[in-house]
């Protein structure tokens, strides 16, 4: 009679080399591609007590104000969100080198800012000055 030996020393190992290779390839791709991404950057100006003598209104003929209730005024005139594109296209033709200034209330929704920014880009404006009021 033959007795079968119980062999508990089965080697169930998993080869992790392909997994590690894939992880390293993805990591290298991320390191190479990350600096090439074009992200919107906001540059904050240095605060100084001795500001230039030009006022904000003289610096830019297009003053956009967004209030806490997301209402928009351009140069003191109330404007509907749907009319922004038309108004900005007219302003771009009239003032081709202007830098629009956005005075944004901190209680206003981000979507309002994004809508204004998108309409300005569609009209051909390349920059937007975001003016922050001190507390």
In a domain? residue 45: no
In a domain? residue 27: no
User: Can you give the pLDDT at residue 55?
Assistant: 47
In a domain? residue 101: yes
Range of the domain at 88: 60-131
In a domain? residue 52: no
In a domain? residue 111: yes
Do residues 58 and 95 touch, judged by C-beta distance below 8 A? no
In a domain? residue 99: yes
Reading the chain (135 residues) residue by residue, the pLDDT tens digits are 566 655 556 667 888 999 999 999 999 999 999 888 877 666 655 655 544 444 444 455 789 999 989 899 998 889 888 888 899 999 889 888 888 999 988 888 888 889 999 999 999 988 888 887 765
> DSSP characters for the chain?
-PPPP-----------HHHHHHHHHHHHHHHHHGGG------PPPPP-SS--SS-HHHH-S-EEEE-TT--EEETTEEE-GGGHHHHHHHHHHH-TT---EEEE-TTS-HHHHHHHHHHHHHHT----EEEPPP-
pTM (global) more than 0.75: no
What is the CATH number for 69? Answer: 3.30.420.270
């Amino acid at each position: 009679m033959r007795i079968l030996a119980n062999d508990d020393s089965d080697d169930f190992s998993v080869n992790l080399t392909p997994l590690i290779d894939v992880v390293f390839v993805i990591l290298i791709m991320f390191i190479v591609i990350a600096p090439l991404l074009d992200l919107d950057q906001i540059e904050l100006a240095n605060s100084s007590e001795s500001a230039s003598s030009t006022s904000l209104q003289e610096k830019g003929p297009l003053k956009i104000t967004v209030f806490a209730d997301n209402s928009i005024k351009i140069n003191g005139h109330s404007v509907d969100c749907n009319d922004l594109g038309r108004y900005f296209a007219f302003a771009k033709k009239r003032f081709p080198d202007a830098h629009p200034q956005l005075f944004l209330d901190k209680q206003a929704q981000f979507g309002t800012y994004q809508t204004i920014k998108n309409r300005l880009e569609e009209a051909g404006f390349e920059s937007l000055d975001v003016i922050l009021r001190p507390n």
